[in-house]
Amino acid sequence: MADAGRLVLIADDDLGVRDALGFALRLEGFDVHAHRGGAELLADCDLPRAACVVLDDHMPLMDGFELLRLLRAGNSALPAIMLTNNATDGVRARAGEAGVQLLLEKPLLDTALVDSVLRLVEARRPQIGA
């Protein structure tokens, strides 16, 4: 069973991207479940305990926007990072309307993804003494 504060779910149809993202996040101490697509992510038994999802905007069968719509329809307020190859104004607008917290353009530079995940996860943690 994964620690709720340290579990990141990834949905990307590119094996190389999944492996690279998973490796970088594991180095930072995160538990990572990497999936080939939306249906696999939705079937993940640890989904309710996830701290964040990282979604590719273009995947076969179910793109990241449809996956996020289904997560939101299931009352999930899970923070979402969307990855795209082409961050046009239209993609940015669509991501904002879908409730994406961060839109990152591939190729990801340096520690952009890890830094983004850390920011989202820390923002969700209850503050001691608050």
CATH of the domain at 51: 3.40.50.2300
Domain assignment present for 64: yes
Residue 109: exposure state from Cβ atoms within 10 A (0-12, 13-18, ≥19): exposed
Structural domain boundaries, residue 57: 1-73+88-96
Domain assignment present for 15: yes
Domain assignment present for 13: yes
Domain assignment present for 39: yes
With CA atoms as reference, report the closest residue to 122 among 95, 107, 101: 101
Domain assignment present for 55: yes
Rounded to whole angstroms, how far apart are CA atoms 90 and 62? 19
pLDDT digits (tens, 9 = 90+) for 5-62: 789 999 999 999 999 999 999 999 999 999 999 999 999 999 999 999 999 999 999 9
Predicted TM-score of the model (pTM): 0.89
Domain assignment present for 79: no
Domain assignment present for 103: no
Q: Tell me what pLDDT residue 106 has.
A: 87
Q: What is the DSSP string of the chain?
A: ---GGGEEEEE-S-HHHHHHHHHHHHHTT-EEEEESSHHHHHT-TTGGG-SEEEEES--SSS-HHHHHHHHHHTT----EEEEES---HHHHHHHHHHT-SEEEESSPPTTHHHHHHHHHHHHHSPPTT-
Total domains present in the chain? 1
